[in-house]
Amino acid sequence: MVGEGGKEAVKQYIADLRKKIHYHNYRYYVLDEPEISDAEYDRLFKELEEFESKYPELVTPDSPTQRVGAKPLEAFGTYKHSIPLLSLNSVSDEGEVRDFDERVRKFLGEAGGAAAIEYVVEPKIDGLAMELIYKNGVLSVGSTRGDGETGEEITQNLRTIKTIPLRIFSDAASASGVPLSLLEVRGEVFIPVGKFKDLNTALGEKGARMFANPRNAAAGSVRQLDPRVTASRPLDFFAYGVGRAEGKEFSTQWEVLAYLRRIGFKISPLIRRFETIQDAIRYHEEVKEKRDELDYEIDGIVVKVNSIEQQERLGAISRSPRWALAYKFPARVEFTRVKNIVVQVGRTGALTPVAVLEPVPIGGATIHRATLHNEDELRRKDVRIGDTVVVERAGDVIPEVVSVIKSKRTGTEKEFKMPDRCPVCGAEVIKEGPIRRCIGVSCEAQLKERIKHFASLRALDIEGLGEKVIEQLVDRKMVSDAVDLFFLTKSDLLRLERMGGKSAQNILDALEKSKHTTLSRLIHAMGIRHVGDHTASLLADNFRDLESLRNASYDDLVCIPEVGPEVARSILLFFEQGSTKELLDKQERAGVSYEKRGVGVAEEAVREVLEGKTFVFTGRISMPREEARGIVERLGGKVASSVSKRTDYVVAGEEAGSKWDTAVRLGVRIIDEEMFMRLIKEK
């Protein structure tokens, strides 16, 4: 039996042993510069295992022996990101990159290039974005990007990736040298090309299904319910940014990357810093040339404004930052033959011609179909059944037919004529510009998609109403429009396959909850063509209720910033339909209600209150964070991601985080959501 003094010595020895193994893992997996032999590493690891076996009470979550060991899960949980993981605006033309630079300078008031704007350029890894949460230096939570607001919590799988530290190093450059109490690290999980080929070879030898490309392999690997399967896959990780960092402030993106490297993360060796956008454009060409020599897939570069202060001033629009963009490489192309042309009917009734192809591999994926966009494009390109065509994956993702190799025609090719009747419901088809559109209000093809949209996260967010349930409701003629959902009974739902009493009640509860919403969410849920959640928020800010919006004129609509002629005409057309009035009446009978904010961007008294003010949001508030940001920005204010002496208001919702503490320390005014709403309505 070891005495207390002896046990403390053992505890310290085990801690030193773990520290040594963490260091050698970093040398081997991150730096690729091992300092000891594999045999010596194995000896250290075995010694740690023996000690932990003898003293199980001394095992810690960050021990190298604990990378794999959790039991398989039945399902993944969700994780709400404290700061949204924004998507990037993508461009593929040099002129668009120069336009981006011009917009940045104009927004910052630096037209003509008088002030220096540095850019950091990073490779755009073709992997999966992840967030890692470290508490006091130890990995606590790992999650996928998801929709940017909420991801899947896959901590036990991310723990198996050797280039993700279980415990981060102390920052020798800091005053204390102690890890931060909270650090959110963003990065990309991927599988190196060479190891991907080895993985597919091994799967093939076992007779198992092989992966189409490294990205699919990485996605399939990190979402395994059994972490032992994930651990068997050659996953890697590059860090590229941070979210919250309690006790640490950064002045530049370059400083963020240097910090991440210091505390043990793997950073892409292709990252560069440039003083002009021209240098960034040149580097794009340089990286494109060496793209096929790299051991990981990239589909472009990411250009970021280096200064964090400038990033905060620039902010974001919709769900993309103004201070960064993805400069994509040209899509990969291949040749194949068109076997047939079919028509798909989308959520808004748009008829899209689609080429059914002889299967062809492009960029690691086997392509069977490719979009022809619309009737005008079909005619312009003169695509016929039997043609040999050039196919590309636009943005390396969406396959499309680029052109026809007319020299290969034999005379047996057949022209395709777009139908005058909907191929799904048989209703009349009208032509609006280049688009043919089904006007059938009960078209099943539209109905399923309309209901999916109506129930989606950024619309009415009806939990439990999944795709399989919606398909059954439509197929069994239990609903004829989205509002019919509110008239379903428990007995109705119990008629569905694999539907138990508890699940049925959960759906009914979610439906009841969704009846009480915001005007912007309700507008978005209606599925008006060209009206996404951002435009819906704009409309909600300018019209007090649905009746005001319904009675709006063309001039009323186009005078709103970001609402152009096409969007205005689409809104007018939607409300002109008799079926829309029936839907609104039914909605009222169902008891759907919404908050009537009626902010109105033209209210000068409100603008005077917010003009030039900086807001920071923390915790959970009832409206989407981007909606709140949009209101502030349209009323002349700014939204920052962190609290500083320049912050005017901190809006604190439920479960407010460290920003509250920072605001208290700096003496920044803290208000709740109710006060925020009063402030933006003040006259």
Residues assigned a catalytic role: 124
| CA-CA-CA-CA torsion sign (485, 489, 490, 495) | negative
**Segments of 395-497 assigned E as strands:** 398-404, 429-432, 435-438
Distances (CA, A) of 332 to 7, 92, 116, 148, 394: 62, 13, 36, 28, 8
CA gap 147, 152 in Å, rounded: 10
Tokens 């001033």, residue located: 313
317 has which bridge partners? Answer: 320
Which token pair is 458?
């950024």
Amino acid in position 267: I
Among the listed residues 353, 344, 352, 348, the one whose alpha carbon sits nearest the alpha carbon of residue 424: 344
All residues at 6 or more sequence positions from 277 whose CB lies less than 8 Å from its CB, including other chains:
97, 98, 100, 101, 119, 303
Burial 660-679 (b: 16+ CB within 10 A, else e): bebbeeeebebeebeebbeb
CA gap 53, 63 in Å, rounded: 13
* Residue 564 near residue 558, CB atoms below 8 Å: yes
Bridge pairing between strands 324-328 and 365-371:
unpaired
DSSP state of 561: T
Among the listed residues 516, 551, 535, 538, the one whose alpha carbon sits nearest the alpha carbon of residue 601: 538
Distances (CA, A) of 472 to 348, 462, 493, 680: 20, 16, 10, 44
